[in-house]
Structures are given as structure tokens and as C-alpha cells.
Amino acid sequence: MKVLYFAWLRERLDRSEDEVAPPAEVETVTDLVDWLAQRDEVLAAALEKRSIFKFAVDARIVPPQTPLAGADSVAILPPMTAG
């Protein structure tokens, strides 16, 4: 599964994506984000206020409790400002 990072999150992590194989107990977007944060302290710090982020599974915006079964990609979308 690909995890895609956008905007300032991508810049803070210094990468635009990760290829991951989460364990079976990672069933939802929330589970995935928790699992990713446990593996990467920079990502954990960036995701500290998770309620500000949006998530997309296979290019569709979804709520955090969305199941991951069969998903090819998950995007983590930080809030953006327009100027």
C-alpha cells in the first residue's frame, strides 16, 4: 500500500510517499495513521493534531474510521491556506 504525503507534511518528512505493508490488525485509516506514527517520530510529531487532517483512500476523501480492505493508496492531506 502506498501512503502519500502532501503540502507541508511532505516537506517536513522530506518524502512524498512510503510503500508499506501494515499488519493485519491495521484495519482502518485511523489504525494506519497510528501504526505509521509508532514507526516514525517525525511523522508522529507532524500528526500530533490529527483532527486537522483529511484522508483519502484510493483518491476518495473518507472519514478516519474507513476500512482499508483492498485499498491501494492512502493520502494524508494537511490543511492548506489560500492566498
For the chain, 83 residues long, give each residue's pLDDT as a single digit of tens.
999 999 999 999 999 999 999 999 999 999 999 999 999 999 999 999 999 999 999 999 999 999 999 999 999 999 875 54
pLDDT of 45: 96
**pTM for the model:** 0.92
Looking at the structure of the chain, the number of domains it has is 1
CATH code at position 36: 3.10.20.30
Q: What are phi and psi of 54, to 5 degrees?
A: -110, 160
Q: Is 52 helix (H, G, I), strand (E, B) or coil?
A: helix
Cell of 6: 502532501
Q: Is residue 83 part of a domain?
A: no
Structural domain harbouring 37: 2-77
pLDDT of 81: 58
